[in-house]
Amino acid sequence: MEHFTSLYGVLIDFIGESNLPNSAELMGIYGRMCVNGFNILDPEMMSIGTGIYLGCSVIDHSCDPNAVAVFEGIIIHIRAVKDMPVLDWEKIFISYIDLLNFPQDRQAELQAMYYFLCDCNLCTSIQSPNMILCPNQDCGQGISVKQQDHEQLPQPCPSCGVYIKADTYKKYLEVEEFTRHHLQVMKDIAYLDVCKVCLKKQQGLFHNLDLLHVKVLDLAFESSIEMGQWEKAAEFGQELVPGYQKYYKECHPLLGIHYLKLGKINLYLKKFGEALDMLKSAEQVIRVTHGDRHTLYRDQLMPLLNEAQGELGKT
């Protein structure tokens, strides 16, 4: 309501009150824009505006989507990322929100923004994205930690049967709380030093697919790029790949763009073999998510891929 009131004042200044619909009708228009609007994204999936796309607004949400929305300028493309037996718009789903979040946080965001709750498999699954590292050094598996039941020790490792000790679990919970606090602090801007402290505390406790660990790695990667620390960016980016593959799945625009960024960084560092591997992975994903006629594929990815192949050929 505060936002609507502010916008209403701006519209009066620009258009004049006599040229506006009454406040109830205007609020209805505003509500439909909020619920049906799309964030217009640049090639790196960063929001640069909002648009109404009437045809695409009928597509429902899923946290396990079979399609994605990508943009070429202000033109929207809905592209399948999973095989579909028939083209049935009622069975096509995109994600309205960022998937790199806990189920309860995704539900809260959907409820606040779109007034519904998701009932996809990822939201109803009892599998927790909190994972403590198995203490058996020869195992390395993650043991699921239920967020609602911190009083009870986790089940034994499903792979080797080893139990988590009480003091180890207590330390995990302390670091989990520490990490959550600092992720909230870094909601608007990431601090590389804070990310490093969180990652150091998580070492030996958090499995590499623990969602909090992945979220900190994500911030550390982007912060390293902002600061021009390319070696650290390459290190964090490589560690981040399994987490992106798990939470965004194997064919998502953000995974493809992540591969592309890693390819660029390794090319800059003259690590041509690593660059070529990342750019080939990017090509496989972006060809599906964006298409081979998209400017991201044609003008950014392919020249870099050709450059990496050429440089590797020289060596």
Tens digit of each residue's pLDDT (9 = 90 or more) over 39-57: 999 988 889 998 999 889 8
In the predicted structure, residue 152 carries a pLDDT above the cut 80: no
Mean pLDDT of the chain: 92
* pLDDT confidence band for 224 (50 / 70 / 90): very high
* pLDDT confidence band for 82 (50 / 70 / 90): very high
What pLDDT is recorded for position 31?
A: 87
Domain coordinates in residue numbering, the chain: 1-114, 131-313
In this prediction, residues 193-221 reach a mean pLDDT of 96
Share of the chain above pLDDT 70, in %: 98
In this prediction, residues 250-263 reach a mean pLDDT of 96
In the predicted structure, residue 148 carries a pLDDT above the cut 80: no
Helix (H), strand (E) at residue 170: helix 166-185
Share of the chain above pLDDT 90, in %: 72
122 contacts: CB under 8 Å, gap ≥ 6 = 63, 64, 103
Topology classification of domain 1-114: Beta-clip-like (2.170.270)
In the predicted structure, residue 157 carries a pLDDT above the cut 70: yes
Structure tokens at 49: 């505006």
- 222 versus 145: which is more confidently predicted? 222
* pLDDT confidence band for 14 (50 / 70 / 90): very high
List residues bridging with 71 in a β-sheet. Answer: 76
Rounded distance, CA 213 to CA 192, Å? 14
CATH code: domain 131-313 is: 1.25.40.10
What's the pLDDT tens digit per position in 169-187? Answer: 999 999 999 999 999 999 8
In this prediction, residues 31-44 reach a mean pLDDT of 88
List residues bridging with 131 in a β-sheet. Answer: 144
What pLDDT is recorded for position 279?
A: 97
Residue keyed to tokens 């964030």 = 39
In this prediction, residues 287-298 reach a mean pLDDT of 96
Query: Residue 28: is it exposed, middle or buried by C-beta count within 10 angstroms (0-12/13-18/19+)?
Result: exposed
What pLDDT is recorded for position 154?
A: 79
What pLDDT is recorded for position 188?
A: 86
Best CA proximity match to 177, nearest among 140, 136, 208, 145 = 145
Rounded distance, CA 225 to CA 175, Å? 26
In the predicted structure, residue 23 carries a pLDDT above the cut 90: no
Same fold, 1-114 and 131-313: no
Rounded distance, CA 102 to CA 109, Å? 11
What's the pLDDT tens digit per position in 126-143? Answer: 778 999 999 998 998 999
In the predicted structure, residue 144 carries a pLDDT above the cut 70: yes
Backbone phi, then psi, for 149, in 5-degree steps? -130, 70
Residue keyed to tokens 């490093």 = 196
